[in-house]
Amino acid sequence: MGAMVLVRLGLLLCLSGQIHAIKRATTKAFTHPGGMHPQQQIDFVRTKVAQREQPYYDAYTQLIKSADAAFNHSTHELADFSVPGYYVNATMHQKNSAGLQSDSFDAYACALAYHLSGFQAKYADQSLRFLRAWAHVNNKYSDYDGTLVMAYSGPGMVIAGELLYHYHGWNPVDQQKYLQWVKNVYLKASNEIRTRTNNWADWGRFGSILSGYLLENSTEIAENIRLIKKDLFHKIAQDGHMPEETKREANGIWYTYFSLAPITAACWVAYRATNENLFTNFTQGTASIKLALDYLHYYNMNSNFWPWYPNPNKGSPSSWPGNLLEAMAPIYGSDSFVDYVKAARPLIYRNHHFAWTFPTLMRTQLGDYPKK
């Protein structure tokens, strides 16, 4: 085995004559669609839908309803995506955030519908309507929350572009314009916040690794994985609580979710892009991503025992953290996560931020997907 690895590295060295080829040996080739929804996953879901198997079939019907509704929605692009702090101007914060969130969801739902409906061009074209609107008009973000809200609202725009990467109806000039927008606005915002300490960093890294994949930048992907590994066990304590988020008083459970959602989504992209498995293969003492998920799951169901604040707000199976636990159930083979969400299926999380948006439909999986 060892000898074979050496031979393969040697071969790479000979072929390219460059040292950096060694590093690339761990990054799989870029294929599109990839990142959040690799082709294998799409093929798997398409088969399940064709066989009318549940919960996929109902989840698909729900997706198509969302995609059809998007045809009537106007676009909300802004030249300057300005988002003042919520406590400074709540009206403007919500109005400008909601516009991008609406477009991001619609672009994403339509691009996914394009793949799963047997490549109906009408869905791809609708998705492009939202991507084009932002790519041609938006060139910056501003105010206190501009970077963060761009990072957590924008993933749908990036995933949509990834899904439509090879769509022949996407005119190359428009596509370049869009890729420039991802690089100069979305990725820029994400990278600006990816070294913060709390959930801002998690959204930054998720946005950055998604963009890095779309733009085929393996250095960017490696850098985000490095950042995630560097402070994961500052973020997750030995008992599974997340000190940067549990301190948010009545919203400590929500913020714990709001940190784990982008961390796990970034780890999913990392896993599919490089095979590096931070889900089950990265622990420190007793701490792991799974322990943090179990902690969230337990206290969301038993919020009266939450040690950090009296009567904290909690989520539900049909909303958060249901979407996250649904996505994590197949990765960890967790029956208790399935029990939590089962009655609420199919799940779509369509508001505010985009990490685990279609978790019932787009099933996660470690290793190869079953062929049929």
Ligand X SMILES: *[C@@H]1O[C@H](CO)[C@@H](O)[C@H](O)[C@H]1NC(C)=O
Dump strand ranges (E) for 219-312.
Answer: none
- CB nearer ligand X, residue 251 or residue 277: 277
- CB nearer ligand X, residue 227 or residue 253: 227
Minimum CB–partner distance for residue 247 and ligand X (Å) = 28
Residue 281: how many other CB atoms lie within 10 Å:
10
- CB nearer ligand X, residue 171 or residue 275: 275
217 binds ligand X (CB under 6 A): yes
174 binds ligand X (CB under 6 A): no
Part in contact with ligand X (CB under 6 A); list of ranges 23-31, 48-56, 86-94, 340-348: 86-94
- Amino acid making up residue 242: M
| Residues of span 253-272 touching ligand X by CB under 6 A | none
| Tokens read off for 170 | 């996407």
> Cα-atom radius of gyration of the chain, to the nearest Å?
20
- CB nearer ligand X, residue 117 or residue 323: 117
Part in contact with ligand X (CB under 6 A); list of ranges 109-117, 212-220, 330-338, 339-347: 212-220
223 binds ligand X (CB under 6 A): yes
Minimum CB–partner distance for residue 316 and ligand X (Å) = 27
Residue 351: how many other CB atoms lie within 10 Å:
13
311 binds ligand X (CB under 6 A): no
Q: Which of 91, 310, 311, 371 binds ligand X (CB under 6 A)?
A: 91
- Residue (of 259, 211, 251) closest to 231 by Cα position: 259
| Residues of span 54-83 touching ligand X by CB under 6 A | 68-69, 71-72
- Residue (of 195, 238, 242, 269) closest to 28 by Cα position: 269
- DSSP H or E run through 315: none
Q: Which of 16, 61, 171, 219 binds ligand X (CB under 6 A)?
A: 219
Minimum CB–partner distance for residue 120 and ligand X (Å) = 14
Minimum CB–partner distance for residue 220 and ligand X (Å) = 4
Provide the Cα torsion 305, 306, 308, 313; round to 10°.
Answer: -130
**Whole-number Å distance between alpha carbons of 165 and 297:** 36
Label residue 138 left, alpha or beta by phi (over 0 means left) and psi (-120 to 50 means alpha).
beta
184 binds ligand X (CB under 6 A): no
Minimum CB–partner distance for residue 212 and ligand X (Å) = 7
CB crowding 116-126: b at 16 or more within 10 Å, else e: bbeebeebbbb
**Whole-number Å distance between alpha carbons of 88 and 315:** 26
Minimum CB–partner distance for residue 183 and ligand X (Å) = 7
1 binds ligand X (CB under 6 A): no
Size of the site for ligand X (CB under 6 A): 14
Contact partners, residue 369, CB within 8 Å, separation at least 6: 40, 41, 43, 44
| Residues of span 278-297 touching ligand X by CB under 6 A | 281
- CB nearer ligand X, residue 174 or residue 223: 223
- CB nearer ligand X, residue 277 or residue 334: 277
- Residue (of 243, 283, 263, 271) closest to 201 by Cα position: 263
- CB nearer ligand X, residue 91 or residue 311: 91
Q: Which of 274, 277, 319, 334 binds ligand X (CB under 6 A)?
A: 277
Cis ω for the linkage preceding 33 (within 30 of 0): yes
Dump strand ranges (E) for the chain.
Answer: 80-82, 140-142
| Tokens read off for 129 | 């309507």
Minimum CB–partner distance for residue 126 and ligand X (Å) = 11
Minimum CB–partner distance for residue 57 and ligand X (Å) = 20
**Whole-number Å distance between alpha carbons of 301 and 306:** 10
| Tokens read off for 310 | 């009296």
Name the burial class of residue 80, with classes exposed (0-12), middle (13-18) and buried (19+) by CB atoms within 10 angstroms of its CB. middle
92 binds ligand X (CB under 6 A): yes
Site residues (vs ligand X, CB under 6 A) = 68-69, 71-72, 89, 91-92, 217, 219-220, 223, 275, 277, 281
